[in-house]
Amino acid sequence: MLRELGLDYYRFSLSWPRILPTGFPDKINEAGVQYYNNLIDELLKYNIEPVVTIYHWDLPQKLQEMGGWINPYVIDWYTDYARVAFELFGNKVKNWITINEPYQICDYGSDSKPLTTLFNITGVADYICAKNILLAHAKAYHVYDKKYRPNQGGAIFISLSAQYNDYEFKEYKDAAEDANDFTWGIYSHPIFSKYGDFPSSVKKRVKAKSIQQGFPRSRLPQLTPNEIEYIRGSSDYFGLSHYYTFYVYRNESVKGLYPSPSTNDDLEVATYQKEEWKAGQMNINKIGALGFYKLLAKIRNDYDNPPVIITENGLATKEGLDDDDRVTFYRLYINAMLDAIDDGSDIRSYTAWSMMDNFEWLRGFSARYGLYEVDFKNPERTRTPRKSAFVYKQIVRTRELDWHYEPNTDVMTIDEGH
Active site residues: 312
Regarding beta strands 372-374 and 383-385, do their DSSP bridges make them parallel or antiparallel, or are they unpaired? Answer: antiparallel
Question: Alpha-carbon distance 396 to 407, whole Å?
Answer: 14
What angle, 0 to 180 degrees and rounded to 10, lies between the N-to-C axes of helices 173-180 and 200-212?
100
Residue type, 218: S
Rounded to 5 degrees, what are φ and ψ at 101?
A: 50, 70
Contact (Cβ atoms closer than 8 angstroms) between residue 229 and residue 222: no
Class of residue 112 by CB neighbours under 10 A (exposed 0-12, middle 13-18, buried 19+): exposed
Question: Alpha-carbon distance 300 to 58, whole Å?
Answer: 32
Residues 6+ apart with CB under 8 A from 405: 391, 394
What are the residue ranges of helices labelled H in 56-122?
61-65, 74-89, 102-103, 109-110
Longest alpha-carbon distance in the chain = 67
Helix (H, G, I), strand (E, B) or coil at 50: strand
Question: Alpha-carbon distance 48 to 396, whole Å?
Answer: 13
